[in-house]
Amino acid sequence: MIVGALAGLATAPARATGACHVEPARLLESPHRLARMTQLVATGGSIRIVALGSSSTEGVGSSDVAHAYPAQAARFLAAKLPRSRITVINKGASGEEARQMVDRLARDVLALLPDLVIWQVGTNSLIHAMDLESLVADIFEGVRRIQAAGVDVMLMGPQKSPRVDRSRDRVMLSMNLQVIAEAAQIPLLARYEVMAGWIARRQMTMDEMIDPDGLHMTDLSYRCLGEAVARMIVNLTRPPLASESR
């Protein structure tokens, strides 16, 4: 009996704790490139990125701001794009809704003259059961304002977590974010799907991925999110393949 039990353990799939793989790879791709960023990467120009969002941009649940996803993304981008001097500015504000972020765009984001804005949005509206139609209108308005300033935009959806899973509007918001991204021709990082993959492939457990409050991320999942964001940026700024440029 003991031998059989040990044999069963030996054949069980090992957990890949700490791995940051994203599958399928298409989750870090988009038909919409980051035009301004592509030019800067090609020339080795300095790049300024502003991360706009709420608590999971600010880094609530992490050890400190150095473990929040924007700082993690900055480190990975510096390694992958060594010709460019990259600055990532964290403008996350815990508890904010999309409307509040739109209202501070000029002061907190556009005044910094960014080349790319990564806008993490929607989580607080979901958990507070806010009006979905108003939320979508606010996101559209914010994207238009950023694009009008000649700045690249990448949207980031809500995280996978117990509190987000309980929202009745989660799937509908995901669909609307896809519509916004297509209409505005900007990339969307489907964070929920990325994180669901980490759980499904046993890269981390829910307890390792999400804080005990059932909402915020941990040092491990912030690190993996930062890497995913950076990989998506690299994917969308690399020179197109010959087959793609025809």
Nearest to 30 by CA among 226, 222, 190, 175: 190
Q: Computed over its alpha carbons, how large is the radius of gyration of the chain? A: 19
Question: Please, what are the domains in the chain?
Answer: 29-238 (3.40.50.1110)
Whole-prediction pTM value? 0.91
Residues of the chain scoring pLDDT < 70: 1-18, 240-246
Amino acid at 129: A
8 Å CB contact between 219 and 67: yes
114 forms bridges with which residues in the sheet? none
Question: What distance in Å separates the CA atoms of residue 48 and residue 46, rounded to the nearest whole number?
Answer: 7
Cα distances (Å, whole numbers) of residue 133 to 62, 130, 242:
32, 9, 42
- According to the model, what pLDDT value does residue 240 have? 64
Residue 143: φ, ψ to 5°? -60, -45
8 Å CB contact between 93 and 54: yes
- According to the model, what pLDDT value does residue 195 have? 98
CA dihedral 199→171→33→100, nearest 10 degrees, is: -100
Tokens for 122, please give them: 């929607």
Kind and range of the H or E run holding 42: helix 35-43
Cα distances (Å, whole numbers) of residue 126 to 17, 91, 119, 153:
29, 21, 16, 22
- According to the model, what pLDDT value does residue 129 have? 85
- According to the model, what pLDDT value does residue 9 have? 36
Residue 156: φ, ψ to 5°? -130, 125
- According to the model, what pLDDT value does residue 239 have? 74
Amino acid at 131: D
- Cα diameter, the chain: 69
pLDDT in tens, 232-245: 999 999 876 544 44
Amino acid at 59: G
